[in-house]
Amino acid sequence: MGGLKRTYRALTALSLAALGTAATAIGNAPRAGAAGIFGAEPLAEGSTVALAQSVDGNRWNLVVVERLQPGSGCWQQQANGLVSLEPGALSNEALCNRLQSSSGYSLRAGGQDLRAPWRLRIEANGNRLELQALNPSLPAPITIGTAALPKRADASALPSFTLNPGWNFQKRSYEGRLLSHVYLSTPDAPAVLQARARGTQSIGLPTASLPTLPAPAARTRDPLPGQVITLPVVPFRDDANLRASN
């Protein structure tokens, strides 16, 4: 009986140890939302558009539409620069990927997901709309793209943003599998974006300016042996005699 008890205690200890190891492994497993877990793949040129949808007449919401199949409708580009959506195609999730909130799109910089407090917003500026990356801790937003401000809001035709150089659309990936989430992405690191928002070009201490030294006086070349140098004749001017004669 004593041998059975010792065997049972040993098995119990091994079971608890195995459970502890499994629990540690689960606790250390990367979460899907952890930083650096997601990858990104570039989207084909012309397969995705960022649109501004009017909300209550004076506010705008970002809508991102992606063509999942080449040649599928999803939207039509109009001559006036606006884009008209095709409801029939949009209703087919196998053809079109329509994203209307931050759960479907976000910012990515230098291979990193930009989480809160970073966010996207659309602001009217004169006769155009600006798609901006905003961080409340920075003095100014960063403009990602621009669109012409329409003369009147139209639910069937939306302004389309042209992304600034250095920005593009990418698709979120996880363990080699593409997800529906779309990034507005730039290869610049977050620190570069922050410096740009502050109006500086680099991060670090300002470079001390060196004093400007006067240019050295021109030197007269020494004459060669036997060489005669003729100097210009400067007429003598006697200012005293000139004043006396006047």
Q: How far is CA 239 from the centre of its chain?
A: 73
Q: Which two structure tokens, joined as six digits, stand for 72?
A: 């599928």
Q: What is the pLDDT of residue 228?
A: 52
**pLDDT for res 215:** 53
The span from the first CA to the last CA of the chain, in angstroms, equals 143
| Neighbouring-strand partners of residue 129 | 124, 147
Amino acid occupying residue 47: S
Closest CA to 118 of 127, 99, 100, 105: 105
One DSSP character per residue, the chain reads -HHHHHHHHHHHHHHHHHHHHHHHHHHHSPPTTSTT--EEEEPPTTSEEEEEEEETTTEEEEEEEEESSTT--SEEE-TTSEEEE-HHHHT-TTTEEEE-STTTEEEEETTEEE-TT-EEEEEEETTEEEEEEE-TTSSS-EEEEEEEPPSS--TTEEEBPEEPTT-EEEEEEETTEEEEEEEEEESS-HHHHHHHHTT-SSSSSPPPPPPPPPPPPPPPPPPPTT---PPPP-----HHHHHHH-
Q: Kindly report the pTM of this predicted structure.
A: 0.67
In this prediction, residue 198 carries a pLDDT of 87
Half-sphere exposure at residue 141, Cβ-oriented, CA atoms within 13 angstroms? 16
> Given the DSSP bridges, would you call strands 128-134 and 142-148 parallel, antiparallel or unpaired?
antiparallel
How confident is the model at residue 93, as a pLDDT? Answer: 93
Encode pLDDT of 58-84 as tens digits: 899 999 999 999 878 899 998 888 999
Both tokens assigned to 128: 């155009």
Pick out the chain residues at pLDDT < 70: 1-35, 153, 201-246
Beta sheet of 59-67, edge-to-edge order:
48-55, 59-67, 96-99
For the chain, domain boundaries: 39-197
Residue type at 24 in one-letter notation? T
For position 152, what pLDDT does the model report?
A: 75
Q: What is the pLDDT of residue 76?
A: 93
Could you report the per-residue pLDDT of 8-23, keeping only the tens digit for each?
A: 344 344 343 433 333 3
d(CA 63, CA 180): 14
Distance CA 90, CA 73 (A): 8
Distances (CA, A) of 133 to 71, 99, 185, 196, 241: 31, 17, 11, 12, 79
